[in-house]
Amino acid sequence: MMHDKDSTIEAQWARVRARLRKELGDSAYRSWIKPLTLIAVEKGETRLAVSTRFVRDWVRSHYADLIRTAWATENSAITAVEIAVQTATTVARSESLAKPEPPRPAPPIPRAPEIAVENGEDFGAALDARFTFDNWVVGKSNEFATAAARRVADDTKATINPLFLYGGVGLGKTHLMTAIAWQIRRRHPQRKVIYLSAEKFMFQFIRAMRSKDTMSFKEQFRSVDVLMIDDVQFIAGKDATQEEFFHTFNALVDQNKQIVLSADKSPSDLEGVEERLKSRLGWGLVADIHPTTYELRLGILQAKAERSGVQIPPKVLEFLAHKVTQNVRELEGGLNRITAHATLVGRPITLESAQEVLHDLLRANDRRVTIEEIQKRVAEHYSIRLADMHSPRRARAVARPRQVAMYLSKQLTSRSLPEIGRKFGGRDHTTVMHAVRKIEELRASDHSFNEDIELLRRMLEQ
Ligand code: ADP
Ligand code: MG
């Protein structure tokens, strides 16, 4: 037995920390890495604990990859890192820690490079630990894609093949694919799953060609049970890669192996991709992830806020869900910034402080709805002339829709009251303020009016 001191898990952990310190610098190291306690290393997973959820989530979302990579360098058997909340005396509920005992170092595990190869870490990519079905929020816009993903994850017979997921940036394609991979690894650990981006696929392919080793490249990919390739649009215009991909694809489908793909467009809309490949890509099930609805965005924020353990007023979450509409990554980023800020300055979060912290993010999202669009939509909705948005007419039939448009301009853009007033035929900012108050009052007292406004707002946010 070779139990020299350096091979103990504790010694490895010390080296991992040293590595992270070098990589992150002293201050980030002290804030986020130093508080971590090593709990156990088991079945290729390192379990770490921290004392608060906030630190856990922060570390998970910012440093999990780095920590995993550092561990894998020390000990190639490690393929996952789990971070849990553990206070001095109790183990937080719902955490995945198996034993409610005080931290104790686990026995060293032997180096087992095969495991890494088994899991495809050598030529695949590491899976993000947060991207599981547990952390996935289902809504109207993604329910079909979710159902398809769950089916593929549970089905060992590849009845849906390939599954092709597509949707815009930041709508959860990578999350959903990764969730499939985690689920398969958990339920069917003997199945060999490889997840990688199309870019990485190409990179591996080129490297194999350069080292004249395309045989082992082919074998690697053709020996898997589940091949997942993310962001397939990347192979557009890359003919040799497409050719290789096409053959890999056919070989796997012939053996009834599962394939899961993602892209930002449907197969038929992919430009610069050969026709025969396009048609193959669309053979199985094509499921698209639609732009998020307000309800889904709010649901995602609520789930995340709950996990972070930081108190965030519902109004702030609603505000974010209304304002950051296009990209869930940005939405989460906004929430992270608000919680980080609140924790650092130690003051409770308010709508005002949130707006301040997110100033630039809100501006960037605002550009999408303009006052002109709001005026046009609202005029159409109430069947008045667009010109009446600017006209001095005061008849209720035009004045009320105009107030609605002013109100929505205040809500959906970051224009100031005077700026809004100018766009409505040079009205004074007090007129806009009055309109905003009036509409708020009506929304509170008149249910059907309220629904009307909500509908308009949603249409404008699409
Ligand atoms: P894409 O690959 O489509 O660009 P990602 O899968 O990277 O998008 O998702 C961006 C971020 O949004 C990730 O942090 C992901 O966890 C989160 N996200 C997107 N949709 C959902 C959802 N329905 N539930 C929970 N998180 C989501
Ligand atoms: Mg992605």
Of ligand 1's listed atoms, the one at least distance from the Cα of 231 is 2
pLDDT number for residue 39: 86
pLDDT digits (tens, 9 = 90+) for 103-126: 444 434 333 332 333 344 456 778
Task: Report, as an integer, the average pLDDT of 222-246.
Answer: 93
Task: Report, as an integer, the average pLDDT of 298-311.
Answer: 92
pLDDT-derived band of residue 367, with 50, 70 and 90 as boundaries? Answer: low
The matching CATH number, chosen from 3.40.50.2300, 1.10.230.10, 1.10.8.60, 3.10.20.600, for 294-366 is 1.10.8.60
What distance in angstroms lies between residue 174's CA and the mean position of ligand 2's atoms? 4
Of ligand 1's listed atoms, the one at least distance from the Cα of 169 is 4
What distance in angstroms lies between residue 175's CA and the mean position of ligand 1's atoms? 5
d(CA 439, CA 408): 9
pLDDT > 70 in the chain, percent: 88
DSSP assignment, residue 167?
E
pLDDT number for residue 90: 35
DSSP SS3 for 38: strand
pLDDT number for residue 117: 34
Cβ pair 79, 45 in contact under 8 A: yes
Task: Report, as an integer, the average pLDDT of 212-231.
Answer: 91
pLDDT number for residue 411: 87
pLDDT number for residue 2: 44
Q: Which of 58, 325, 329, 336 to mutate to test the pocket of ligand 1 (most atoms within 8 A of CB)?
A: 329
pLDDT digits (tens, 9 = 90+) for 393-420: 999 999 999 999 999 999 888 788 999 9
d(CA 439, CA 299): 26
Question: What CATH homologous superfamily does 371-461 map to?
Answer: DnaA protein, C-terminal DNA-binding domain (1.10.1750.10)
pLDDT number for residue 109: 38
Q: Which ligand is nearest to the CA of 332?
A: 1
> Which residue puts its alpha carbon closest to atom 9 of ligand 1?
172
Task: Report, as an integer, the average pLDDT of 360-367.
Answer: 75
Q: What are phi and psi of 289, to 5 degrees?
A: -100, 115
Q: Which residues pair with 234 in a beta bridge?
A: none
Domain map of the chain by residue range? Answer: 3-97, 112-289, 294-366, 371-461
> Which residue puts its alpha carbon closest to atom 1 of ligand 1?
170
What distance in angstroms lies between residue 299's CA and the mean position of ligand 2's atoms? 20
pLDDT number for residue 50: 81
Task: Report, as an integer, the average pLDDT of 218-241.
Answer: 92
Q: Which ligand is nearest to the CA of 289?
A: 1
Mean pLDDT value across the chain: 85
- Domain 3-97 sits in CATH at 3.30.300.180
Closest CA to 432 of 423, 422, 421: 421
Of ligand 1's listed atoms, the one at least distance from the Cα of 146 is 23
Q: Is the pLDDT of residue 455 over 50?
A: yes
d(CA 198, CA 205): 10
Asked if the domains 112-289 and 371-461 are classified in one and the same CATH topology, the answer is no
pLDDT number for residue 191: 93
Pocket of ligand 1, beta carbon within 6 A: 131, 135-137, 142, 167, 169-175, 300, 328-329, 332
What distance in angstroms lies between residue 169's CA and the mean position of ligand 1's atoms? 9
Q: Which of 296, 328, 330, 331 to mutate to test the pocket of ligand 1 (most atoms within 8 A of CB)?
A: 328
Pick 110 or 21 by higher pLDDT.
21
What distance in angstroms lies between residue 411's CA and the mean position of ligand 2's atoms? 30
Q: Is the pLDDT of residue 349 over 70?
A: yes
> Which residue puts its alpha carbon closest to atom 18 of ligand 1?
172
Q: Which ligand is nearest to the CA of 264?
A: 1
Tokens, residue 351:
């709508």
For domain 112-289, give the fold: Rossmann fold (3.40.50)
For 107-115, which contacts have Cβ atoms below 8 Å and span 24 or more sequence positions? 107/9, 108/3, 108/7, 108/8, 108/9, 109/9, 109/41, 109/42, 109/75, 109/77, 110/77, 111/75, 111/76, 111/77, 112/76, 112/77, 113/76, 113/77, 115/44, 115/76, 115/77, 115/79
Q: Which ligand is nearest to the CA of 177?
A: 1
pLDDT number for residue 54: 58
**Cβ neighbours of 265 (radius 10 Å):** 16
